[in-house]
Structure formats: C-alpha cells, structure tokens
C-alpha cells in the first residue's frame, strides 16, 4: 500500500472512531456538591444517576469530621419540587458519617439538599436531566 493510501485509510478510520465517541452519551449524570466552610465540618451530597433520566440514582450524604463521639446521624434530604423530604440513617466510617438513599424521580431543575441532625450546614445540588449531548 502506498503512503498516501495508508494515510487516507488512517484518516478515515480516525474520523469514524472520533464521531462514534462524540455521539455516545456519557454513562452517568453523576453530580456532587460540598459545603465550603473550611473552619467546620464539611457536608457533601453526591448522586450517581443515569444520563437522560430524571432519576438521581443513589444519593450519598457525607459528613466529614463530626465529633469523635458521634457514631451515627439522621440525614434530612429535601427537594424543591414541592417540598418533598426524606430522612435516613447514616453511620460512621472512619472520620466520616456516611448514608445512602434512593429518593426516586426528581424533576429537572429541582434542587436536592442534605443536612445532618446535629449540624447546621447543608449541601445542595441542582438536578439537571442531561441527555448526553455536547
């Protein structure tokens, strides 16, 4: 094969591969947010939902650096989609208290917030129903 034919074949193959990657949606619409009060405990919220759906998937709430005596806490999850709220238990894991829940479908544009009983800090994130397009 001549050099020009080889170069043309590689260019076509590269173009096809690149267009396949560009049109494939991302696997997850994961999102996370944390408080930014560096002088106190840090509260974080994280979701692992699928792209193109209003399902946030599993919501993980994390409280970093709670008092050493605290082994668990109640987590309050609130949504701005009409005031729905959930509560669930979180347990100590090392230097953090961590809890998980699956709140169900949330409308795009609603905001999910977590707050731990015993802390005035809360972390929030906006649910965006991404469709995988660029």
Residue 31 to residue 46: CA distance in whole angstroms: 6
Is residue 98 pLDDT above 70, yes or no?
yes
- Of all residues in the chain, the percent with pLDDT exceeding 90 is 33
Residue 48 to residue 54: CA distance in whole angstroms: 12
Least confident of 31-40, 91-100, 113-122: 31-40
Query: What pLDDT is stored for residue 49 in this prediction?
Result: 80
Contacts of 114 (CB under 8 A, 6+ apart): 43, 44, 45, 59, 61, 75, 76, 77, 122, 123, 124
Query: What pLDDT is stored for residue 1 in this prediction?
Result: 58
- Of all residues in the chain, the percent with pLDDT exceeding 70 is 65
Average pLDDT over residues 126-134: 60
Is residue 62 pLDDT above 90, yes or no?
yes
Most confident of 38-42, 47-51, 117-121: 117-121
Residue 102 to residue 128: CA distance in whole angstroms: 17
Is residue 2 pLDDT above 50, yes or no?
yes
Is residue 5 very low, low, confident or very high in pLDDT (cuts 50, 70, 90)? low
Is residue 27 very low, low, confident or very high in pLDDT (cuts 50, 70, 90)? very low
Is residue 59 pLDDT above 70, yes or no?
yes
């Amino acid at each position: 094969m001549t050099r020009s034919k080889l170069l043309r074949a590689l260019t076509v193959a590269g173009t096809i591969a690149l267009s396949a990657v560009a049109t494939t949606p991302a696997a997850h619409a994961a999102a996370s947010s944390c408080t930014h009060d560096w002088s106190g405990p840090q509260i974080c919220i994280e979701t692992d939902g699928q792209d193109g759906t209003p399902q946030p998937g599993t919501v993980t709430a994390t409280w970093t650096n709670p008092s050493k005596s605290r082994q668990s806490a109640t987590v309050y999850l609130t949504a701005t989609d009409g005031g729905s709220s959930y509560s669930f238990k979180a347990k100590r894991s090392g230097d953090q208290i961590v809890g998980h829940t699956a709140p169900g479908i949330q409308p795009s544009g609603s905001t999910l917030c977590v707050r731990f009983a015993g802390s005035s800090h809360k972390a929030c994130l906006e649910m965006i129903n991404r469709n995988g397009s660029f």
